[in-house]
Structure 1
Amino acid sequence: MTIVASGVMTLVDLNDAKQLVAYIGSSQQRQVIYNPNGGSYVPNYASSNNVLTPQLFIAGVNTDIAAQAKSIKWFYQTNSSGAFTEITASDSNYTLGSTAPKTLTIKGNVLASANSITYMCEIVYTDAGTGYDVTTKAEYEIIKVTNGTNGTNGTNGTNGQDAIRAIVWTPDGNITRNANGSVTATVDVYKGSSVVAGTAFKWYIQDPTATTSSGGDADGGAGWRLLNSTTNYGITGYTTKTITVPASAVASVESFKCVVTYNSVKYNDVCTIVDVSDPIVVTIVGTGTFKNGQGSTTLTAKLFQAGAEIDTGGTAYAYKWSIYDSNNVKNSTFNKTGKTITVNASDVNGRGNIVCDLDKP
């Protein structure tokens, strides 16, 4: 088994700087469709700005504290290579927010001469408990997808058909937290730079055990399990353009594929949804002292995540207890399990530490 958390009764650290987790939210999708025939972009950031918003969380707390940051800086990198360049002021392509949380608005078609741009947000937060500055970073990449140029027909001189492609994306972001909430994923079909309507939709969840004859089908291919009325993990909308994925369907990271039919031809794309779990804090509750080597004490391991107590019934995890003496030598005869245990004075040689390790059952 893999230990996912541990608690020690006699060790309390009140001075460590807080662990920070940063994300970047966006108001537009990451892919930009460029049509070289008319020189158009979809979405057109010049008319539909993409606003990037920094988000900052203290591990174990689900409140966004980006507005409390000491400083927020934005950088960009072109085509995933070379050094990052800091954006220090607003210009024709960007509007740099002046107050926290310091947003970055992309208001120009910055992919005109690049295939991708990666934006990095560097956040400095002053830990009120220690007075130390803690720095964390997050990245966000936008990608250009270019349509082929129109050809000319020999028979009638008209331009050929525009390229058709499907793009699966998550309009409200691809993050759930601590197995709570839900995320929507939707598929857009583009003919050139125009969005067209698909006529049939199939959604799949990635599963290495699925085959085209068992769990999947030829459209999804091996490794993709078809979502339907009997296999859906709580996901809804799997025969429509948009699905709603509950956090319970996401085990850390899950990928989803949509096969959409347009004009009797099938197209597909994939998106990934991530569940971000705050660390579990194990607190041991009970009396930790004995007198004259007599008596016993009852100890209970309480679990907290994102400020709330979890697993109050003690069934979601396996609780394993150990005792170490003052020389950090483990008591080999002490081997107890469960959320609540009884410790006898005879189990402790003078003084020592009792440890509760948390495993997945």
Structure 2
Amino acid sequence: MTIVASGVMTLVDLNDAKQLMAYIGSSQQRQVIYNPNGGSYTPNYTTSNNVLTPQLFIAGKNTDIAAQAKSIKWFYQTNSSGAFTEITASDTNYTLGSTAPKTLTIKGNVLASANSITYMCEIIYTDTDTGYDVTTKAEYEIIKVTNGTNGQDAVRAIVWTPDGNITRNANGSVTATVDVYKGSSVVAGTAFKWYIQDPTATTSSGGDADGGAGWRLLNSTTNYGITGYTTKTITVPASAVQSVESFKCVVTYNNVKYNDVCTIIDVSDPIVVTIVGTNTFKNGQGSTTLTAKLFQAGAEIDTAGTAYAYKWSIYDSNNVKNSSFSKTGKTITASSSDINGRGNIVCDLDRS
């Protein structure tokens, strides 16, 4: 079985901090096309800056609280390897925002000597209920795609989301668009077909040969409220996104078909596991009854405890698992003998 969510409780803490989710929005697509015939970049970050904006949400809520962060730091990693380097000040490649939410503007062609760069945003937020500082991180990768050196040997389709790829709490919508590049120039496609990922779709049932198996063709009868599926840009309502959905576009240019994929995320769907019960013992005696409560989009779910399999574990202060403790169910009892001084009790959630 696959773990879909986990909850953790420290048995000596009296309060649990909020669960936070961080994302990075961008003003440009994450693929940069480099044309060695003339050394041009598309998009050219020196004239079309890519502004990265941190976004921070409390699980189950749709208010971006990044502006309330205690601190925001930016780091980068070259070619997806090695240590991250902090960006501490503005320079020729970056402008570091001075006020919250602290944006990072990429204003140089930073991929000149790299194939990819991963940016990490570290956000520290002070929980207003507990006074504790909570740290969360998000990553965003930009990739260089290099055309061939023999002429202008190369056509590519890129699907991207101009306004970000996140819907919140089943509200709003996201647009996805496809751009076709010949060399470093944008050219016009002549036909567009859009698909939503669906493992049950086949080329003869729900899909077609252009999309391939696992992709359901969007049309007048199957569209989930998505519009524009015969044009270069679709509008995807939040109701069409169940946690994470991928979309493919097959576009025709010069009688040849090209395709690419993008992913859209609904931040309202993650399941938050909250462990309820007394979390202290006295003098090594007694027991406590603990219940795992599940929340999704701000509402409690699975109150009967039948939709998921609940698996409990205990780890000591050195993060060593107590091999003799193994319990299942929505509600369990833990005794003082299960804890050596202090420890964390974890509830992992599997689909039943």
1:89-128 CA distance string (max 9 Å, x none): 1111001111111111100000001110000000111122
Q: Is the 8 A contact 2:9 2:345 kept in 1?
A: yes
CA spacing shift, 1:322–1:239, aligned 2, 3 Å: same
Q: Is the 8 A contact 2:11 2:343 kept in 1?
A: no
Structure-2 separation of matches of 1:49 and 1:40:
15
CA spacing shift, 1:231–1:3, aligned 2, 3 Å: same
Structure-2 separation of matches of 1:273 and 1:28:
16
State the shift of 1:64 in Å. 1.4
1:199-236 CA distance string (max 9 Å, x none): 00011111222222221111111221111111111111
CA spacing shift, 1:87–1:241, aligned 2, 3 Å: same
1:241-281 CA distance string (max 9 Å, x none): 01111122122221111110111111111111111226678
- Quick check: 214-223 or 237-246, which moved more? 214-223
CA spacing shift, 1:333–1:123, aligned 2, 3 Å: closer
User: Which has the greater radius of gyration?
Assistant: 1
1:119-170 CA distance string (max 9 Å, x none): 000011112222211100000000111xxxxxxxxx9999745411100111
SS for the counterpart of 2:138 is strand
SS for the counterpart of 1:17 is coil
Gaps of 5+ in 1: 146-154
Q: Is the 8 A contact 2:243 2:269 kept in 1?
A: no
Q: Is the 8 A contact 2:11 2:345 kept in 1?
A: no
SS for the counterpart of 2:10 is coil
TM-score, normalization by structure 2: 0.74
CA spacing shift, 1:50–1:158, aligned 2, 3 Å: closer
CA spacing shift, 1:89–1:222, aligned 2, 3 Å: same
Q: Is the 8 A contact 1:320 1:338 kept in 2?
A: yes
1:293-317 CA distance string (max 9 Å, x none): 9999999999976568999999999
Structure-1 separation of matches of 2:318 and 2:74:
49
TM-score, normalization by structure 1: 0.72
- Quick check: 155-164 or 339-348, which moved more? 339-348
SS for the counterpart of 2:242 is coil
Structure-2 separation of matches of 1:85 and 1:332:
39
State the shift of 1:31 in Å. 0.6
State the shift of 1:70 in Å. 1.2
Q: What RMSD in Å do the two structures reach over aligned CA positions? A: 7.1
CA spacing shift, 1:110–1:321, aligned 2, 3 Å: closer
CA spacing shift, 1:342–1:46, aligned 2, 3 Å: closer
After superposing on structure 2, the runs of 4+ consecutive aligned residues of structure 1 that deviate more than 4 Å are 1-14, 155-162, 278-361
CA spacing shift, 1:9–1:84, aligned 2, 3 Å: closer
CA spacing shift, 1:126–1:36, aligned 2, 3 Å: same
Structure-2 separation of matches of 1:41 and 1:53:
22
Q: Is the 8 A contact 1:93 1:108 kept in 2?
A: yes
State the shift of 1:17 in Å. 1.4
CA spacing shift, 1:110–1:315, aligned 2, 3 Å: same
1:15-73 CA distance string (max 9 Å, x none): 22111111111111101111110111111000111111111112233221111111111
Q: Is the 8 A contact 1:59 1:278 kept in 2?
A: no
Q: Is the 8 A contact 2:33 2:147 kept in 1?
A: no
Please, which of 185, 197, 210 is the counterpart of residue 219 of structure 1?
A: 210
Structure-2 separation of matches of 1:326 and 1:70:
28
Q: Is the 8 A contact 1:220 1:226 kept in 2?
A: yes
State the shift of 1:319 in Å. 16
Structure-2 separation of matches of 1:294 and 1:92:
63
Gaps of 5+ in 2: none
CA spacing shift, 1:334–1:90, aligned 2, 3 Å: closer
Identity of aligned residues (%): 93
State the shift of 1:287 in Å. 20
